[in-house]
Chains A and B, each alone.
Chain A
């Protein structure tokens, strides 16, 4: 069965600092996508960043970047220059043609 594991239920970081959220997954598929979604207190899920499994280059979106280690099945999210607005639940997600799985989430608090 395909699984997504986020081992850090809660994390905190000081404003302007860098934080890394961990995610590991398990699958026998070769063609899949990985995502990080953010869910602020307003509860609307927002896509943060997306990585195609066939691409070796790590995805980057402004202050957000990933470290994708396909062999290790690891997909961590690095947030640089953390801002108060980054406070949210962060979900790692995995999608194949027929399935989409989410991790349990990491609650990130950015402190002023």
Chain B
């Protein structure tokens, strides 16, 4: 079974631009979560989608948004990029959301975003 796939692996943008990152979950998984990883703040939860609906959202500004499609693939969008948005963005998928039996998150390799 293929793992979680994130594209692209690397991205360079300039301030003010917008960016879209993609995540394809493990086949059969319907929950997708996004995280931002930076040296200063560590791993921070962005949001979680389940069955095309946003279940939870972390403490990030409205410039960060996402969506999930009927095939469970998810995209994350960041508008009006700032230098501080430079980070590794990780996507994780699981079969069920939140605290449920057997729920384990499987992570992708991430997208490294650099904002110049």
Contact = CB atoms under 8 A, between A and B. Distances in A.
A64 interface: no
Contacts, number: 48
Nearest to A46: B107
A100 B109 contact: no
Interface of B: 33, 35, 42-45, 55-56, 88, 90, 92, 98-99, 103-110
Given A33-B99, A44-B109, A95-B99, A100 B88 contact: no
A103 to B, nearest CB: 7
Contacts of A37: 107
With most chain A CB atoms within 10 A of its CB, the pick from B90, B99, B106 is B99
Contact of B43 (A44, A95, A102): A102
Contacts of A45: 90, 92, 107
* Chain A interface residue number, banded: 20 to 34
Interface in A74-112: 91, 93, 95-105
A47 interface: yes
Contacts of A98: 55-56, 98
Interface of A: 31-33, 35, 37, 42-47, 50, 91, 93, 95-105
Given A33-B103, A45-B90, A45-B92, A95 B98 contact: yes
